[in-house]
Structure 1
Amino acid sequence: MVRILRGLAHKYFSDEEAVILFLLLLTGIVFIILFGAMLAPAIASLIIAFILQGLVAKLHKMGVPELVAILGVFVVFLGVLVGVIFGLLPLIWTQVSNLAGETPRIIRELQSYLELLPDEYPHLISVEAVDAVYQQVSNEVAHMTQWLVSFSLSSIPDVVALLIYMVLVPILVFFFLKDRKVLVRSVGRMLPPQRPMMIRIWQEVNMQCANYVRGKAVEILIVGGVTYVAFKFLGMPYAALLSLLVGLSVVIPYIGAAVVTIPVAIIALFAFGWGSQFIWVMVAYGIIQGLDGNVLVPILFSEVNNLHPVAIIVAVLFFGGIWGLWGVFFAIPLATVLKAIFSAWPVKESQPAPAATE
């Protein structure tokens, strides 16, 4: 056992810089787990600044002075933030409230659909199975309705926290953008002066994560916007709420699309019934998903090393189990970081044993 551990240490930690990097990563993970909730505004601001820095760099390459580019991008960010807070969120909340009010009618219609199944398919579906499904759906809807009511009541004290976020996040984003080089140099002073491996890993992580995070932000906007236009054109109710869910579903490949398909199909079914309008909605939704996976994703993520579907599912389960909803959203970027680190990690090949002499 000691020999195996010594061999692993020689293979992966023979470089002093690798040991320092491992300790830094371990310290950072423990720090985020312990103080992540407290530093959530700073972490969110850092991620937003990281996304916006790509646009600043592109404007600077086009000849725009860096400070002017930073101010321009920051003004656009403020405009989008104000539009989301005062335009999109009230609309989403109104549609969520309306959907909660429509829930009893949906349950009654669902019961009528379920009651017909044993008569039409007596050899496949029994009355007991239908009753069990209906009871399960009723319980889940009741829990969801209770959660909405309790959330609306418990969220009143969080208004102050929301106001703090609205003030702190834009300020932090601005300073992260303006003083990015100063902050990076300050962190660099705490690291060893000679750090070629860390620089190589940072370049790999920066390229992979920057392309992924910025590409996902663009993908969310495009998929959500196109879905909203298509649903509004087809007369789909709760178009803003559903388009938001469809846009956010691209954050979790494979799983997100499969999960969001269920509410889209259910709402379309209860809005239009088994008719041509329902078919048109599902066809439009399928076309959007197909174009996203086969056209948009290859264009946006051509420079990103794709993760295997098994790695994506494991990352979602692992980070979601640690950090809940935030872990689900950031599972793929975190998995991308780990893959970049593993790819650039120095591995010292073990020396072959000398051949025995006769």
Structure 2
Amino acid sequence: MERLQVWPEKFKKFFLNNKFVVTLLIVLLVGLTIMVFAKIPFIFKPVSVLLHTVAAPLLLSGIAYYLLNPLVDRMEKRSRIKRAYGIVILYLLIAGIVTLILLTVIPMIRTQLMGLIDNFPKYSEQIQEEFMNLTGSQLFERVQENIGTDFTDITSRVTEWGTTFLNNAVNGVGNFVGAVTEIVLALVTTPFILFYLLRDGKRLPDYLMRFIPTALQPQTRLVMSEMNSQVASYIRGQIIVSCCIGALLYIGYLIIGLEYSLVLAIVAACTAVVPYLGPAIAITPALIVALVTSPFMLVKMIIVWTVVQLVEGKFISPQIMGKSLRIHPITIIFVIIFAGKMFGVLGIILAVPGYALLKVVVTHLFQWFRFRSGLYEVIEENKE
């Protein structure tokens, strides 16, 4: 009888009173619940439609919030303008800038972009002819014999890949135009969401704290503060760095007289949002245009690109970005590749900030586990 009474006490002591085991059981139950509901598609379909509908406006509003919130704070503190009035003034200023861009810059971009698309097949043929002329020399014939590779076949494949890529891009633009309803919806709703974020964004953490148990509120507030700091520093820094790269390349391309300088600079600025891999992608169209123009233009373009990358790496990024994320470059590259494979272009763009947020959460969870489990203190005592 006594043994039968001891077993429930042991079970309660080692399982029900063990927070780690209880946490694992809760995670297991949540996983099983999700798996069961996943077998019933109509349960999650409204959720997926809702997320698909609000994802773009929330994402755009969040990025704009981190960019504009410092300006609104400064207007409120230094100029003593009420926050709502400051937001309206900022909206009017942005509307004026957007109107100016639409009237002056967009026609130039459209002209250069259409010219680049029209001339791309001709550029591919010229590059293929140049390679064929080179492969006809004795030096390249010896290289081909030693390596066992036909460079003509390589150039044909590169040309075919370029044409396929262009066709996919055109099809992507067609799909993009086909989704005009979602784009218009996102553009219309984003300013309203952004207005309330800029006005009441500081109250959001206090509101979320109502759903958190009182004992966990200090740690949760600390985690949210670190996540906010990581995302804010990355978004502001990366966009400012990208704009600087685009402006410097545009000036450099104008100095050397490279064709389609504005489009190529904009492409470089947009791809620079992706760390490390972005510049490698952006240099490809500039190399093609410079190579087709003349070998001397290719040399000048490479010099401009090298100077811009040195200025960005030595002066711009250290001053703007600093080392706030504290993520190793190899880790960033692997995270970008994995996110791109899983979620496409959106995954590539959001890979680094998403990893930074996940790193903050995992770090605090590990610290909590280390403090609660008591395992690490025992190990350190044994080492002594």
* TM-score, length basis structure 1: 0.81
Counterpart residue number, 1:137? 158
CA change 1:193–1:34 in 2 (3 A) is farther
Which amino acid letter does the alignment assign opposite residue 116 of structure 1? N
Which amino acid letter does the alignment assign opposite residue 141 of structure 2? P
**Contact 1:74/1:174 (8 A) holds in 2:** no
Higher helix share: 2
**Contact 2:223/2:364 (8 A) holds in 1:** yes
Offset at residue 329 of structure 1 (A) = 0.9
CA change 1:15–1:90 in 2 (3 A) is farther
Which whole-Å CA distance do the structure 2 matches of 1:145 and 1:249 have between them?
17
Aligned to 2:260, which of 238, 241, 255? 238
Aligned to 1:249, which of 246, 250, 271? 271
Aligned to 2:295, which of 232, 250, 274? 274
Unaligned runs of 5+ in 2: 1-13, 35-43
Unaligned runs of 5+ in 1: 1-5
1:160-212 Cα deviation digits (max 9, x unpaired)? 43333332222221122122234444333222234111111111111222111
Offset at residue 284 of structure 1 (A) = 1.4
Counterpart residue number, 2:37? none
Offset at residue 328 of structure 1 (A) = 0.5
Offset at residue 330 of structure 1 (A) = 1.2
Q: Does 1:200 align with 2:222?
A: yes
CA change 1:135–1:10 in 2 (3 A) is farther
Deviates more, 1:156-165 or 1:239-248: 156-165
CA change 1:146–1:217 in 2 (3 A) is closer
Matched position secondary structure for 1:237: coil
**Contact 1:78/1:170 (8 A) holds in 2:** no
Which whole-Å CA distance do the structure 2 matches of 1:299 and 1:181 have between them?
27
**Contact 2:234/2:321 (8 A) holds in 1:** yes
Counterpart residue number, 1:352? 378
Offset at residue 296 of structure 1 (A) = 0.6
Q: Does 1:163 align with 2:189?
A: no
CA change 1:61–1:261 in 2 (3 A) is same
Deviates more, 1:225-234 or 1:198-207: 225-234
Counterpart residue number, 2:349? 329
Which whole-Å CA distance do the structure 1 matches of 2:251 and 2:330 have between them?
33
CA RMSD after TM alignment = 3.5
Q: Does 1:186 align with 2:186?
A: no
Q: Does 1:70 align with 2:87?
A: yes
**Contact 2:128/2:159 (8 A) holds in 1:** no
CA change 1:77–1:189 in 2 (3 A) is farther
Which whole-Å CA distance do the structure 2 matches of 1:32 and 1:238 have between them?
44
Offset at residue 84 of structure 1 (A) = 5.3
**Contact 2:245/2:269 (8 A) holds in 1:** yes
Aligned to 1:214, which of 216, 226, 236? 236
CA change 1:175–1:107 in 2 (3 A) is same
Q: Does 1:175 align with 2:196?
A: yes
Percent identical: 21
**Contact 1:208/1:303 (8 A) holds in 2:** no
Which whole-Å CA distance do the structure 2 matches of 1:149 and 1:305 have between them?
36
Offset at residue 339 of structure 1 (A) = 2.3
1:104-163 Cα deviation digits (max 9, x unpaired)? 221221122111222142211369612211221232233234334434544443334333
Aligned to 1:103, which of 116, 120, 131? 120
Q: Does 1:60 align with 2:76?
A: yes
Which whole-Å CA distance do the structure 2 matches of 1:259 and 1:286 have between them?
15
CA change 1:202–1:80 in 2 (3 A) is farther
* TM-score, length basis structure 2: 0.76
1:8-36 Cα deviation digits (max 9, x unpaired)? x979x5998xx99xx9xxx9xx9998754
Which whole-Å CA distance do the structure 1 matches of 2:111 and 2:172 have between them?
15
Counterpart residue number, 1:283? 303
Which whole-Å CA distance do the structure 2 matches of 1:115 and 1:136 have between them?
13
**Contact 2:121/2:163 (8 A) holds in 1:** no
Which whole-Å CA distance do the structure 2 matches of 1:162 and 1:83 have between them?
22
